[in-house]
C-alpha cells in the first residue's frame, strides 16, 4: 500500500511540475516525495559516534550556507526536526554508497562507511543549495560507478599555494571525487620540501625566467622574471589532513626517470653528464634525465621516497615514467654498463629496469606505484597501475595483462585544452575539449572484453599548467568540466544524459558564483552537423551549441546572418551542396563569432559503410557516419569530424544498394601531433561490380611530414564505372612514439 501511495504522489508531483532537485553527479535512484523539510534554528544533527567528523563537517557547511545556530548533538533523543547521520555496517550498500531519506519531519542519512555518509552530505548540501532552506522530500539510494574518481594538478609549471590547494580539494569533495593526483616535480620546478636534500627546493624550486606565449611560437621570448615556490612539509601534512577529512586520498607524483631536470639542477650528479643544469624555463623538454646507470640516482630516489611516504599515507605513489628521452642514456657509459650487466636489450628495457627497481622498493614498504602508460615500454613492472594518457591503447594492453588501469586519455581528460572557441579564450595547450565532449567520455572502451572491465578502476581530469598562470585561470579551465567528469565517474552509464546534466548545471554554477569561483560559461561555438533519413534517403543539417536556450540564426547563401536571417529551431532539409553560416544572437547582435561549413552532398553518403579495425572505437571523436556525412574535418582545435584509428590500419567497405556510377573519390588523412596521428604509408582502393569480387584500382604511397599538423587529400580516379562496392585500406605507420601511432581520417567523398 505504501508503495502505491508513493506512485500516486509522484504522479501528482509530475502534474504540478515540481522540478527534480539538481544533484551532480546524478544519483543512482531518486524518488521525490511530497513536502519539504525546513532547516531552522532548532534543527539538530544527531550522529553515531563513528561519524562525528562528518557531523562536524555538515554543521560547518550548513552554518556557512544557511543556519548559523544549528547545533550538533550526539545522543539526545529527539522526536523530530533532526538530521541523523548513522553508520550502519549491516546496511547492504556498495562501498561509498549512502541512503538519504528526507521527510517533512526529519532527515535520515545512512551508510556503511563514514565515506558514504560524507557523500550523502554532499547530496544533502546540493539539495539545500538548489532549493534554499526548504529541502525537498526525497528518497535517494546512491553509490559510485568507479572506485577511482580523480583530479590531477601540475604545480611544477606554475605554483599554486597551500590555501588554493585546499580550495581545489573542496571543489573535488563537493562532487564526490576521491583522489587528488598532485604532480609535484617536473623540469620547471621541484615543489616538495625534502629535508635530506634541501637544494631540491632551494635551487630546483626556482627558475630564472619563463617562456612568453606558446611553446611552438618562434622566435622564443622570455619574461626575465625569476619564478618559483614550494610546499614545506608542514604545509603538506596540513593539506593531507584536510583532504582526509574530505575523504580524498592524495597521490603524490615524483617524476622519474624523465621530467627530472629541476632535481638535476639541484644535484647534478643525478644526470648522465654531471651537469651543470638549469631549471627548465621553456615548456619543451630538454634531453637530460636521471642517470639509470649510477647507484647515486637510486639511493637519492629511495631517500626522497622515504620522506614522501612519511608525508603521504595513501597506498599509491605516482612515479611518472612518461616521455623519458633516451639520448643521454645512449651516450652514457654508466647507463650502457647497466644495460650490459643487467642483460637488457635497449634503453626501453633500461627504463623498465628503472621503474621495476623503484617499484620493488615501494612494494617492500607496502606501497603501490602508478605510472603513465610509457611504463609499458620495455616490460611492465609486476604490480604497477597504468595511467593511460596516450589514448586508450595502453590502458587496454595493461588491463588485458591483469593490471589496474586509470584512464586519462588526452582527448577527453586534459582540461588544459580549450573548452570554448580559442579566439575568445586564454592561451592554452592545443586541443579542443568542450564540456559535452567530457560528458560523453566513457573510461571503459567498448572493445575491451567485459572480463577485463573491472581492471579499469576509474579515471581523472588532468590540468597541466604551462599556460595557466594564476588561480582565476585555473578555476576557469577546471569548471565546469570537473562537474562533467564527476558525473562520468559516479553515475551509471545508462543514466548519463546530456540534456539532464545541462538542466542541473545552472544550480551548480550558482553555487560557484556564490563562492566567487571562476568557470567557463560554455561554448558559443556552433556545431554544424548532418543527419540522414534512411527511409526517404533525405539529408538535413543541424546546429547545436552548449548554450541552454540558444538564439541561432543562419543563412545558406554564404552571407553573415543578421537579425532578420532565419531562426534555427529544428533540422533543416538539404537539397544540394550548401554553405551554412550561423551565429548566436544576444540583444540583437552576433555574439562570439560566425561559424561556417560547406555541406558537400555526394553519392557516398547513401552507401552503407562498414568500418573494420575499430580497435579503439570509444576514442573516436564523433558519430558513426562521420566518414560519409558530407562534412570535411578541419585543421582546427575541433576535430569532431575526424575518426581516429589507434595502432591499427584503416579499412572500410562501402556498399551501394544498386550499381552506382562513380567517376572519382577522395579521402583525407591528417597529421596531428596531439594524438600521434601521421599520414598512412599507403592507401589502396578496390572496387567490385557484384559486391563480392574486388580488384585493386590504385595504390598511393605517402610520406610523413610530422610533427607539424597537416591535412592531405588522397585522390583516386574510378572512371565512370558502375560499381556495387568499394574498399579502402590505409596502412598505419610507426610514428616516433613507439607505443602509439594513429591514423586520423575524414570524409570519403565519392563523385
Binding site partner of 334, from ligand ACM, Zn ion, none, Cβ cut-off 5-8 A by kind:
Zn ion
Strands 538-544 and 572-574: antiparallel
Binding site partner of 332, from ligand ACM, Zn ion, none, Cβ cut-off 5-8 A by kind:
Zn ion
- The nearer residue to ligand ACM, 417 or 660, going by C-beta atoms, is 417
In the region spanning residues 711 to 750, those forming contacts with ligand ACM, defined by CB under 6 A, are none
Going from the C-alpha of 29 to that of each of 114, 144, 659, the distances in angstroms are 20, 12, 52
Q: Which three cell numbers stand for residue 677?
A: 596521428
The answer to whether 593 and 524 have CB atoms below 8 angstroms apart is yes
Binding site partner of 335, from Zn ion, ligand ACM, none, Cβ cut-off 5-8 A by kind:
Zn ion
Min dist. Cβ of residue 372 to ligand ACM (A): 5
Binding site partner of 628, from ligand ACM, Zn ion, none, Cβ cut-off 5-8 A by kind:
none
- The nearer residue to ligand ACM, 47 or 389, going by C-beta atoms, is 389
How many degrees, rounded to 5, is the angle at CA 490 between CA 484 and CA 493? 85
The answer to whether 211 and 188 have CB atoms below 8 angstroms apart is no
In terms of Cα–Cα distance, which of 392, 403, 477, 472 is closest to 434? Answer: 477
Our answer to whether residue 186 is catalytic in this structure is yes
**Count of C-beta atoms within a 10 Å radius of residue 166:** 15
Beta bridge partners of 666: 715, 749
Give the C-alpha separation, 619 to 606, whole Å: 25
Lookup result for grid cell 533523543 = 77
Min dist. Cβ of residue 528 to ligand ACM (A): 31
Instruction: Give the largest Cα separation in the chain, rounded.
Output: 89
Lookup result for grid cell 597551500 = 162
CA atoms within 13 A on the CB side of 352: 17
Q: Which three cell numbers stand for residue 426?
A: 586564454
Min dist. Cβ of residue 342 to ligand ACM (A): 26
H or E element: which one contains 348? helix 347-364
Give the C-alpha separation, 189 to 255, whole Å: 11
Give the C-alpha separation, 508 to 482, whole Å: 11
- The site that binds ligand ACM (CB under 6 A) totals a number of residues, namely 4
Binding site partner of 323, from Zn ion, ligand ACM, none, Cβ cut-off 5-8 A by kind:
ligand ACM
Min dist. Cβ of residue 339 to ligand ACM (A): 25
Question: What per-residue string of b and e applies to 622-661 under the rule 16 or more CB within 10 Å gives b?
Answer: beebbbbbbbbbeeebbbbbbbbbbbbbbbbbbebeeebe
Kindly report whether the peptide bond that precedes residue 707 is cis, defined as omega within 30 degrees of 0.
Answer: yes
- The nearer residue to ligand ACM, 171 or 406, going by C-beta atoms, is 406
- The nearer residue to ligand ACM, 307 or 322, going by C-beta atoms, is 322
Our answer to whether residue 472 is catalytic in this structure is no
Min dist. Cβ of residue 198 to ligand ACM (A): 28
Catalytic residue among 86, 245, 323, 649: 323
Catalytic residue among 179, 259, 511, 584: 259
Report the residue closest to ligand ACM, judged by CB.
322
CA atoms within 13 A on the CB side of 104: 3
Binding site partner of 272, from Zn ion, ligand ACM, none, Cβ cut-off 5-8 A by kind:
Zn ion
Sketch the per residue contact string, 429 through 458, with ligand ACM: x for CB under 6 A, - otherwise.
------------------------------
Binding site partner of 389, from Zn ion, ligand ACM, none, Cβ cut-off 5-8 A by kind:
ligand ACM
Strands 44-47 and 221-222: unpaired
Regarding 322 and contact with ligand ACM (CB under 6 A), the answer is yes
Helices 233-245 and 162-174 sit at what angle, rounded to 10 degrees? 20
Min dist. Cβ of residue 336 to Zn ion (A): 8
Contacting positions for Zn ion (CB under 5 A): 272, 291, 293, 332, 334-335
The answer to whether 577 and 551 have CB atoms below 8 angstroms apart is no
In terms of Cα–Cα distance, which of 709, 651, 702, 701 is closest to 677? Answer: 709
Min dist. Cβ of residue 673 to ligand ACM (A): 13
Min dist. Cβ of residue 211 to ligand ACM (A): 18
- The nearer residue to Zn ion, 293 or 391, going by C-beta atoms, is 293
Min dist. Cβ of residue 389 to ligand ACM (A): 4
- The nearer residue to ligand ACM, 500 or 737, going by C-beta atoms, is 737
Binding site partner of 322, from Zn ion, ligand ACM, none, Cβ cut-off 5-8 A by kind:
ligand ACM
Binding site partner of 39, from Zn ion, ligand ACM, none, Cβ cut-off 5-8 A by kind:
none
Our answer to whether residue 323 is catalytic in this structure is yes
Among 118, 182, 353, 372, binds ligand ACM (CB under 6 A): 372
Catalytic residue among 96, 142, 154, 186: 186
- The nearer residue to Zn ion, 241 or 340, going by C-beta atoms, is 340
- The nearer residue to ligand ACM, 323 or 681, going by C-beta atoms, is 323
- The nearer residue to Zn ion, 343 or 564, going by C-beta atoms, is 343
Regarding 323 and contact with ligand ACM (CB under 6 A), the answer is yes
Give the C-alpha separation, 649 to 733, whole Å: 9
In terms of Cα–Cα distance, which of 30, 6, 33, 37 is closest to 18? Answer: 33
List, by residue number, the catalytic residues.
186, 259, 323
Positions touching ligand ACM (CB under 6 A) are 322-323, 372, 389
Amino acid at each position: 500500500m505504501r508503495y502505491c501511495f508513493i506512485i500516486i504522489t509522484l504522479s501528482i508531483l509530475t502534474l504540478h511540475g515540481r522540478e527534480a532537485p539538481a544533484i551532480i553527479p546524478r544519483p543512482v535512484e531518486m524518488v521525490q516525495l511530497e513536502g519539504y523539510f525546513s532547516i531552522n534554528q532548532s534543527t539538530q544533527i544527531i550522529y553515531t559516534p563513528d561519524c562525528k567528523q562528518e557531523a562536524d563537517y555538515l554543521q560547518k557547511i550548513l552554518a556557512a550556507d544557511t543556519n548559523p545556530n544549528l547545533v550538533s548533538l550526539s545522543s539526545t533523543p529527539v522526536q523530530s526536526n533532526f538530521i541523523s547521520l548513522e553508520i550502519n555496517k549491516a546496511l547492504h550498500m556498495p562501498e561509498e554508497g549512502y541512503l538519504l531519506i528526507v521527510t517533512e519531519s526529519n532527515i535520515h542519512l545512512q551508510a556503511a562507511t563514514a565515506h558514504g555518509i560524507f557523500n550523502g552530505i554532499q547530496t544533502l548540501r546540493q539539495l539545500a543549495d538548489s532549493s534554499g532552506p526548504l529541502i525537498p522530500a526525497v528518497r535517494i539510494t546512491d553509490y559510485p560507478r568507479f572506485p577511482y574518481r580523480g583530479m590531477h594538478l601540475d604545480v611544477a609549471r606554475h605554483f599554486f599555494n597551500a590555501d588554493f590547494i585546499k580550495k581545489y580539494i573542496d571543489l573535488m569533495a563537493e562532487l564526490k571525487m576521491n583522489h587528488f593526483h598532485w604532480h609535484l616535480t617536473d623540469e620547471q620546478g621541484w615543489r616538495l620540501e625534502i629535508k635530506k636534500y634541501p637544494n631540491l627546493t632551494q635551487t630546483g624550486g626556482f627558475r630564472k625566467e619563463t617562456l612568453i606565449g606558446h611553446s611552438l611560437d618562434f622566435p622564443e621570448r622570455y619574461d626575465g622574471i625569476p619564478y618559483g615556490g614550494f610546499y614545506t612539509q608542514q604545509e603538506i601534512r596540513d593539506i593531507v589532513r584536510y583532504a582526509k577529512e574530505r575523504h580524498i586520498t592524495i597521490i603524490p607524483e615524483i617524476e622519474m626517470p624523465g621530467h627530472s631536470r629541476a632535481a638535476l639542477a639541484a644535484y647534478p650528479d643525478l644526470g648522465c653528464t654531471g651537469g651543470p643544469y638549469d631549471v627548465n624555463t621553456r615548456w619543451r623538454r630538454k634531453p637530460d634525465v636521471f642517470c639509470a646507470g649510477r647507484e647515486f640516482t637510486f639511493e637519492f630516489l629511495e631517500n626522497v621516497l622515504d620522506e614522501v611516504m612519511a608525508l603521504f599515507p595513501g597506498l599509491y605513489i605516482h612515479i611518472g615514467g612518461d616521455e623519458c628521452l633516451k639520448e643521454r642514456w645512449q651516450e652514457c657509459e654508466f647507463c650502457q654498463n647497466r644495460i650490459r650487466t643487467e642483460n637488457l636489450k635497449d634503453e626501453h628495457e633500461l627504463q623498465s629496469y628503472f621503474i621495476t627497481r623503484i617499484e620493488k622498493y615501494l612494494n617492500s614498504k607496502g606501497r603501490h606505484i602508478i605510472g603513465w602508460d610509457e611504463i609499458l615500454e620495455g616490460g611492465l613492472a609486476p604490480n604497477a597501475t597504468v595511467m593511460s594518457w596516450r589514448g586508450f591503447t595502453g590502458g587496454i594492453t595493461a588491463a588485458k595483462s591483469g593490471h589496474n588501469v586509470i584512464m586519462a586519455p588526452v582527448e577527453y581528460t586534459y582540461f588544459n585544452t580549450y573548452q570554448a572557441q580559442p579566439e575568445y579564450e586564454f592561451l592554452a595547450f592545443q586541443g579542443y575539449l568542450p564540456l559535452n565532449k567530457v560528458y560523453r567520455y566513457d573510461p571503459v572502451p567498448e572493445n575491451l572484453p567485459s572480463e577485463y572491465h573491472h581492471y579499469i578502476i576509474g579515471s581523472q581530469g588532468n590540468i597541466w599548467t604551462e599556460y595557466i598562470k594564476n588561480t582565476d585561470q585555473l578555476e576557469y579551465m577546471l569548471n565546469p568540466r570537473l562537474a562533467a567528469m564527476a558525473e562520468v565517474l559516479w553515475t551509471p552509464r545508462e543514466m548519463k544524459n546530456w540534456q539532464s546534466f545541462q538542466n542541473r548545471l545552472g544550480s551548480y554554477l550558482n553555487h560557484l558564483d556564490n563562492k566567487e569561483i571562476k568557470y567557463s560559461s560554455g561554448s558559443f561555438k556552433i556545431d554544424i552537423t548532418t543527419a540522414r533519413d534512411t527511409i526517404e534517403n533525405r539529408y538535413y543539417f543541424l546546429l547545436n551549441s552548449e548554450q541552454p536556450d540558444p538564439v541561432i540564426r543562419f543563412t545558406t547563401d554564404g552571407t553573415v546572418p543578421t537579425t532578420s536571417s532565419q531562426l534555427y529551431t529544428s533540422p533543416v532539409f538539404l537539397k544540394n551542396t550548401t554553405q551554412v553560416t550561423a551565429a548566436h544572437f544576444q540583444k540583437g547582435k552576433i555574439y562570439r563569432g560566425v561559424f561556417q561549413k560547406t555541406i558537400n552532398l555526394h553519392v557516398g553518403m547513401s552507401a552503407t559503410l562498414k568500418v573494420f579495425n575499430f580497435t579503439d572505437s570509444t576514442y573516436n571523436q564523433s558519430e558513426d557516419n562521420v566518414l560519409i556525412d558530407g562534412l570535411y574535418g578541419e585543421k582546427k582545435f575541433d576535430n569532431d569530424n575526424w575518426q581516429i584509428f589507434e595502432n591499427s590500419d584503416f579499412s572500410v567497405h562501402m556498399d551501394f544498394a544498386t550499381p552506382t556510377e562513380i567517376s572519382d573519390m577522395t579521402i583525407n588523412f591528417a597529421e596531428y601531433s596531439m594524438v600521434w596521428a601521421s599520414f598512412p604509408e599507403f592507401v589502396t582502393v578496390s572496387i567490385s561490380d557484384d559486391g563480392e569480387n574486388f580488384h585493386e584500382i590504385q595504390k598511393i604511397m605517402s610520406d610523413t611530414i610530422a610533427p607539424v599538423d597537416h591535412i592531405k587529400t588522397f585522390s583516386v580516379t574510378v572512371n565512370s564505372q558502375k560499381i556495387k562496392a568499394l574498399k579502402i585500406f590505409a596502412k598505419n605507420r610507426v610514428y616516433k612514439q613507439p607505443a602509439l601511432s594513429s591514423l586520423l581520417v575524414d570524409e570519403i567523398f565519392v563523385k
